[in-house]
Amino acid sequence: MAYTKEETDRFADVNGIRLHYNEAGSGPALICTHGGGPGANAWDNTRHCLEPLAQHFRTILLDLPGFGESAKDVKLGDTPMDFFCAKLMRDLMDQLSIDKAHMYGSSAFSPSSLRFGLEYPDRCGKIVIQAYAPGEHGVQTEGLKSLGVFANDPTRENMERMVQFFTPREDLRPQSFVDARFKAATIPGHLEGRAEMRSTKNSDIAKDIGRLKTQVLVVWGNEDGMIPVEGALDALKLIPNVRACIWGDRSGHFVAYEHPQEFAQLLIGFLEN
């Protein structure tokens, strides 16, 4: 069946924070988040794979604070973002009576999934991360620069340029795709909330990653204009018990969108075996 956003919309108040998520399916829990760019949200990040994933898992597409329909005015204080989000996901699991969950994080929020595995190993299944490797890489790509350009001047023209770095294939970024991302990026309070929940506020997880016990799958596109695919090799060197899948065919930063059926089958096979 094809799930709609409206029928899967859910809300929860966790530690005084209003969280939005979409839920479908049954079985072992799989919590999917999103990246950190303007307009990012869990529904758009993973909805193309939701139907096959929901046939195997209780699939939860979670908007983290500042993004999607979750609260926009959340402050991290002195807590690193990966620690903050990992605890928030654990507390959401408690509220939803989930003892253990697999994690799927993308880009800026991949560290939150990895941190969850480090801090709550008994609550964590396997972990999938997209376009992320631990460590300081110092690469300020044109794609990453475009995020800041839009955040400082949120025009549709700047959104259209930003989207070009997400996926190089024109057929996968029609005007409707640009419009949807622009609409999500201009939700009141989102850009301010995103500024609080930015990737630079993650801890240096490379110092701790060696003690991660669970299995990790890294996924990437060969022409990712945001985070260079060479980072996959860094991930393979640093993360224990890891494997990687890299798509060719001019694939970019959104492999879950660019290859939804193949992506879903890859996750199902990895998580179930």
Q: Report the half-sphere exposure of 39 (CA within 13 A, side-chain side).
A: 24
Residues 6+ apart with CB under 8 A from 142: 165, 225
Residues annotated as part of the active site: 253
* From the candidate CATH numbers 3.40.50.1820, 3.20.20.10, 3.40.50.2000, 3.40.220.10, the one assigned to the domain spanning 5-272: 3.40.50.1820
Arithmetic mean of pLDDT over the chain? 97
For residue 137, pLDDT over 80 is answered with: no
pLDDT reported for residue 194: 97
Nearest-angstrom CA–CA distance, 38 and 163: 10
pLDDT reported for residue 1: 67
Question: Residue 211's closest CA among 111, 107, 115?
Answer: 115
- pLDDT tens per residue, range 22-77: 999 999 999 999 999 999 999 999 999 999 999 999 999 999 999 999 999 999 99
How far is residue 185 CA from its own chain's centroid?
16
Amino acid code (one letter) for 106: S
pLDDT reported for residue 139: 73
pLDDT reported for residue 138: 65
For residue 11, pLDDT over 80 is answered with: yes
